[in-house]
């Protein structure tokens, strides 16, 4: 995914609790040259109230949270949720 040549991929993950941000850093080390490339990705997290506030500011109405997308407890989707809302007509 990161290179067509032989390489080593190192990954580290951080949680910045103060800002509610998950940070993922990936280091790709070229096996032949030792060159290092760094990639970084961050994801902003929100509380349910934070989502409500953002959606209301964007013109959405009632917000309904569904706690799990998995079909059964213990599924990989247990940490996921769905949010249902509808744009308010003005």
pLDDT digits (tens, 9 = 90+) for 27-72: 999 999 999 999 999 999 999 999 999 999 999 999 999 877 666 6
pLDDT digits (tens, 9 = 90+) for 1-37: 778 889 999 999 999 999 999 999 999 999 999 999 9
Do the Cβ atoms of 80 and 69 come closer than 8 Å? yes
Alpha carbon distance 50, 76 (integer Å): 24
d(C-alpha 65, C-alpha 74), whole Å: 19
Per-domain residue ranges of the chain: 1-45, 46-90
pTM: 0.62
């Amino acid at each position: 995914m990161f290179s067509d040549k032989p390489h080593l991929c190192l990954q580290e993950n951080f949680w910045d609790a103060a800002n509610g941000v998950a940070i993922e850093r990936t280091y790709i080390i070229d096996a032949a040259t030792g060159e290092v490339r760094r990639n970084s990705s961050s994801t902003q997290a929100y509380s349910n109230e934070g989502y409500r506030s953002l959606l209301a500011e964007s013109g959405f109405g009632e917000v309904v949270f569904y706690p799990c997308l998995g079909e059964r407890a213990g599924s990989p989707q247990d940490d996921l949720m769905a949010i249902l809302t509808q744009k308010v007509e003005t």
